[in-house]
Structure 1
Amino acid sequence: MDLGISGRIALVFGADSGIGWQTAKLLLSEGATVVITDLDQAALDDSAAKLEAHPGRLYAFAADVTDSASLTRLHDQVRESVGVIDILVQSSGVTGAQGMFHEIDEQGWLSTIDIDLMGPVRITREFIGDLRDGGWGRIVYVTSEDALQPYDDELPYCAAKAGVLSFAKGLSRSYAKEGLLVNTVSPAFIHTPMTDAMMTKRAEQTGQGFDEAIESFLDEERPYLELHRRGEPDEVASVIAFLCSDRASFVNGSNYRVDAGSVATI
């Protein structure tokens, strides 16, 4: 399917691996020029090298979503080297502080919210002017099943991701008449470095092997994930790419759940 984004400029945060990397790969295949960004330049360069060669259409610049000055520097690099962006995909984030509510201190809450909620806010503040310029724009925020179905051992993450849903809905009402459409995607238990780390920790805590930890997690913690497996990053990236496209020209303020039924409500 032609997504109608050939020649568009996309900026993808959290793109050194996982969902962000797969999204960049798909947008490149559709003819977009793509800037990938994440915290570490060396990791970004390695990730860029793994993408198929796209001369003049792939750039990699590091930035820190907790640092407004870093985002301003990124903005300057993008405008000078590539141009004004049309598409913003925010896929960066962390699991953050984990444990029962009474076990998590204030700093655990603040550090998680600083990355997972204020990160998207800072990014949007920096690039919103570009996205409003030209009468066509797309923003897609990657949230989580946790935004809709919170779990008691990761409440800071759940609250931050729920905040992103509300933030995105508000933005979608503000700028749609200017041609800027804003949507979210909420994955569940995707095969990424973040869930690898979660399962490694679970295996160590339970004395299980890695694969056994995944199976027990699915059985005990995600009973409604009906396909009974981790999703793959490209399965999420396909939905993100659609929302970035001309094919989604009447989709605004929506949340697409890519969760194999994990969220138990309609």
Structure 2
Amino acid sequence: MDLQIEGKTALITGGDSGIGMETAKFLIHEGVNIVLTDKEEGQALIDAAQDVKKRSRHGAEVITMGCDISDNKEVLRLAEKVVRKFGGAHIIFHSAGARGAAGDFLELTDDDWMKTIEVDLMGAVRVARAFIPQMQKLGWGRMILVASENAFQPYDEESPYNACKAGIINLSKCLSRSYSKENILFNCISPAFIETPMTDAMMEELAKEKNSSMEEAVQWFAQNKRPHIAMQRRGKPEEVASVVAFLCSEHASYINGSNIRIDGGSVASAFG
């Protein structure tokens, strides 16, 4: 399918692996220039950009830049670089985030909460604030934020993350009401139990606790903690990225203020 976005530019945060990197591959194959970012411009980000570049068509380029989204000055520098290189970003896929502090609610401190909020909620606020003006000038925009199943089906040990992801959905809806008349559309995706570095770390920790293999830990977690996933497996990043790429396209021109669950059925409610 031709997504009809050749020649546009996409900023992808959290792009050195997982869903962000796979989305970059989909978009660059459609002729979209890619600005790939992560917290640091280390070897992982450089390697990801080289991998993405292999999928390029129609002369689409990929550049990298480290950006700590908890630092507003770094986000503003990133926005300036995108303008200098490509004239602005038409597409924003904000996939950067972290699990943050986890544990018993009464044991989590203000600092635990604020560290999670600074990345998982305020990071999205900063990126939106920096890049919406670019989309306004370009007269066309798509912004996709990453929420989570946790926004609908919260897990008691992850209260800061749960609250931030619920806030992301509300933020996206708010922005969709404010800027859609300017041809800028805002949507969310809510993945669950995807093969990403974040869930890798969770499964490695679980494997150590249970003195088991990583594969056994994944199977135990799916059966005991995510029993509604009928496939009893983690999702693949490309299974999420394909949906994101569609939301970035002209074919999604009447999808605005929506949240799409990509969770293998993990959320038990039909109406969540």
TM-score by length of 1: 0.97
Partner AA of 1:262 in structure 2: S
Number of the residue aligned with 2:199:
195
Answer whether contact 2:13 2:20 (CA < 8 A) is retained: yes
Deviates more, 1:50-59 or 1:161-170: 50-59
Write the distance in 2 (CA, Å) between the matches of 1:254 and 1:121.
18
Q: Could you tell me how far 1:56 is from its partner in structure 2?
A: 5.4
Number of the residue aligned with 1:2:
2
Write the distance in 2 (CA, Å) between the matches of 1:50 and 1:248.
27
SS in 1 for 2:238: helix
Write the distance in 1 (CA, Å) between the matches of 2:80 and 2:216.
47
Number of the residue aligned with 1:17:
17
Number of the residue aligned with 1:115:
119
Alignment of 1:1-266 (within 5 A): 1-42=1-42, 43-53=44-54, 54=56, 57-266=61-270
Aligned length: 266
CA RMSD in angstroms comes to 1.0
Specify every segment of 5 or more residues in structure 2 that has no aligned partner in the other structure, as ranges.
Answer: none
Partner AA of 1:142 in structure 2: V
Specify every segment of 5 or more residues in structure 1 that has no aligned partner in the other structure, as ranges.
Answer: none
Answer whether contact 2:32 2:60 (CA < 8 A) is retained: no
Write the distance in 2 (CA, Å) between the matches of 1:102 and 1:225.
30
Q: Could you tell me how far 1:47 is from its partner in structure 2?
A: 1.2
Write the distance in 1 (CA, Å) between the matches of 2:147 and 2:65.
23
Partner AA of 1:45 in structure 2: I
Partner AA of 1:47 in structure 2: A
SS in 1 for 2:68: coil
Q: Could you tell me how far 1:94 is from its partner in structure 2?
A: 0.3
TM-score by length of 2: 0.95
Question: Percent of counterpart pairs with the same letter?
Answer: 47
Write the distance in 2 (CA, Å) between the matches of 1:207 and 1:107.
31
Write the distance in 2 (CA, Å) between the matches of 1:57 and 1:246.
21
